[in-house]
Amino acid sequence: MDLVPALEEPLKKVLGPATAKVMAEHLGLHSVGDLLHHYPRRYEERGQLTHLADLPMDEHVTVVAQVADARLHTFASAKAPRGKGQRLEVTITDGSGRLQLVFFGHGVHKPHKELLPGTRAMFAGKVSLFNRRLQLAHPAYELLRGDAEETVETWAGALIPLYPATAKLESWKIGKAIQTVLPSAQEAVDPLPESLREGRGLVPLPEALLKIHRPHTKADIADAHARLKWDEAFVLQVALARRRHADAQLPAVPRKPAPDGLLSAFDDRLPFTLTDGQQKVSKEIFDDLATDHPMHRLLQGEVGSGKTLVALRAMLAVVDVGGQAAMLAPTEVLAQQHHRSIVEMMGELAEGGMLGGSEQGTKVTLLTGSMGTAARRQAMLDLVTGEAGIVIGTHALIEDKVQFHDLGLVVVDEQHRFGVEQRDALRGKGKQPPHLLVMTATPIPRTVAMTVFGDLETSVLDQLPAGRSPIASHVVPAADKPHFLARAWERVREEVENGHQAYVVCPRIGDEEDDPKKARKSAEDEAEKRPPLAVLDIADQLAKGPLSGLRVEVLHGRMHPDDKDAVMRRFAAGETHVLVATTVIEVGVNVPNATAMVIMDADRFGVSQLHQLRGRVGRGSAAGLCLLVSEMPEASPARQRLNAVAATLDGFELSRIDLEQRREGDVLGQAQSGARTSLRVLAVIEDEEIIAEARQEATAVVEADPELTGLPGLRTALDALLDEEREQYLEKG
């Protein structure tokens, strides 16, 4: 494949080693092509020309004026103690008023030579007040010679690109470097097939690059954006379409449940009927399992919509025909919880091969890192002999020593917590690629699903099963209205007196190992300089104060697994009234009797995380209550975020808000490979239509020419997108 020599050129050859080093280290830019794709964040207008008589304070202005006089002063300062400091003061006039300009230090030499009385020039800078007089400090200026009218118009109207910069390299230096390499843009090979580009009226790539870095008008910027968004969406969707195409070629063992086997025995003992949503999604999954290439499906479901049940039925369908199913959970607490609830749901069907077990039953095995040696050895034996049809575990399942008899289905719970390598390692344990079902309770806007999980088919469970109670959510402004917080603890007592239980969630554990540097992340945290509230402190305060007399226990990630399990068991059994915990309870913890949750420092959690946490209450027949405690002032963005969470229980709505507030870079970053997001101009939420159309176009292109032999430009762009890490990521999925 012929490479694009001009764009492959390393920056150190073009810009010199020092600048190239900073660009590589701080901005991840290595070649001319990288730099051309480092787009401006926004554009500054030099400002419409302003008369000196009506200059606004604190604004960037551009004025055309004549130098009236210029004086050079020397003064003593800390930097120049012997009276060697220099300050140049220039007075300019345009007939309507006068204005002072100042230049300091080494910056005085050039203007001192050029700004002689009588010279006309354009000056651009920010208006400030000094000694009650308006001034511009260190303005940019351009001398006017010859045809002044035309120069004034073009210079003042120019759009100055501002680039994402670093402390080591200012935006204007990046701009200069880009001007140096801009001629190479002519050689950029266009990744879009010509028919697609012309059909959609998009400008060619070289033109788009020129327009984004050196626009003459706002229309230029719009043209460039429209074109570059398509590039990003299309190249990414082609990468995903090629994945789907390659997956469709892989062999898999079709798994069709037996008509009167384990699955029907399980369905017969369910005390309720499946919701329409569960039936529809189950059908989609069973259809996939019956084909001879591996299923790759994403199951998104609202908190409590019954995803585990749907996944369990898929696992039973595979066990029915002699295969094994593995469920991968992100934490031990969650793996144990899944194991408990699956064994409960299956009853005697989970006791295959045991006395009193069902004829059709199978064995459900748990495998986690903290199990004792004997238990582990037994679990691994159950897997390799095929005795255990279903295994639930943490990363321990992925270890080399773990072997399966016939792995047919992998269910990954809470996908966003697993690295690609982990999923890949588990998939490699089947004799042929197993079917894959990825579950998430974090609702993902459709566009993110198309972008991040674009290689998976998506099923959505958005119907809550009958009997789930509504959750009332309120923001408790602890700083403005301390009596609201006192009332919150009263509400917790009332719930306990009515026979229920409560969670109190804190952002931090509070033992010495917590690193205070890590504790303060956001600017809002910086502003208030208070470390986040901690589980151990709050539990202590509550037990001695507002909740004295109630049984209060703590749960956090650094406890020994056995202790965690014991705490969860006591809470599930109703022996503990109030559980003070970190976000270890965020996913999957199921205690129907817990009706209230108080989230301390709620502003320190993300929107989706708050929605997840809230889903732990209201799981039984009694109504749920979620109180979001925050000390942030009413007008702060943090409080608006909390108000949004309190206002709706719709996870998809909240995930949109979440995404608009964070950058989608985070979302893509964690689900891609952790490499920086490949999206520069594409905004996942706003550009929904472009992504959807690009997906269709990409699928068509790949079906017609899977190897892209006729589209060398597209292949070059794919290689650039799929640098090493991402290539592996897409390989593994």
Average pLDDT, the chain: 82
For 728, counting Cβ atoms within 10 Å of its Cβ (0-12 exposed, 13-18 middle, 19+ buried), the class is middle
Task: For residue 232, give the 3-state DSSP assignment.
Answer: helix
Q: What is the mean pLDDT of residues 140-158?
A: 68
Least confident span in 120-129, 209-218, 287-296, 581-590: 581-590
Residue type, 296: H
Angstrom distance (rounded) from CA 638 to CA 607: 10
Q: Supply 45's token pair.
A: 């207008």
Give residue 492's Cα distance to chain centre. Answer: 34
Sign (positive/negative) of CA torsion 455, 456, 462, 464? Answer: negative
Q: What is the pLDDT of residue 621?
A: 79
Tell me phi and psi for residue 66, to 5 degrees: -115, 140
For 516, counting Cβ atoms within 10 Å of its Cβ (0-12 exposed, 13-18 middle, 19+ buried), the class is exposed
Relative orientation angle of helices 307-320 and 276-289, to the nearest 10 degrees:
30
Q: What is the mean pLDDT of residues 625-632?
A: 93
Whether residue 626 has pLDDT greater than 90: yes
Residue type, 543: A
Q: What is the mean pLDDT of residues 426-455?
A: 78
Q: What is the pLDDT of residue 225?
A: 92
Q: What is the pLDDT of residue 667?
A: 42
Contact 312, 345 (CB under 8 A): yes
Task: For residue 628, give the 3-state DSSP assignment.
Answer: strand
Contact 408, 380 (CB under 8 A): no
Q: What is the mean pLDDT of residues 212-232?
A: 91
Tokens 């966003």 identify what position? 416
Tokens 């020092």 identify what position? 18
Tell me phi and psi for residue 137, to 5 degrees: -95, 130
Whether residue 519 has pLDDT greater than 70: no
Whether residue 525 has pLDDT greater than 50: no
Q: What is the mean pLDDT of residues 151-168?
A: 70
Contact 727, 273 (CB under 8 A): no
How large is the greatest C-alpha to C-alpha distance in the chain, in angstroms?
106
Residue by residue, DSSP assigns 255-274 as ----TTSHHHHHHHH-SSPP
Beta bridge partners of 366: 392
- Spatial CA neighbour of 187 closest among 161, 163, 205, 160: 205
Q: What is the pLDDT of residue 152?
A: 67
Tell me phi and psi for residue 40, to 5 degrees: -60, 145
Angstrom distance (rounded) from CA 603 to CA 589: 22
Tell me phi and psi for residue 100, to 5 degrees: -95, 135
Q: Supply 342's token pair.
A: 């699956």
Q: Supply 247's token pair.
A: 């997956």
Q: What is the pLDDT of residue 279?
A: 93
Q: Supply 29's token pair.
A: 């830019």
Whether residue 507 has pLDDT greater than 60: yes
- Spatial CA neighbour of 662 closest among 721, 728, 605, 606: 606
Buried b vs exposed e over 347-373: b needs ≥16 C-beta within 10 Å? eebbbbeeeebbebbbbbbbbbeebee
Contact 285, 310 (CB under 8 A): yes
Sign (positive/negative) of CA torsion 111, 117, 120, 125? Answer: positive
- Dump pLDDT digits (tens) for 109-146: 889 999 999 888 888 888 888 887 888 888 888 787 76
Beta bridge partners of 93: 66, 98
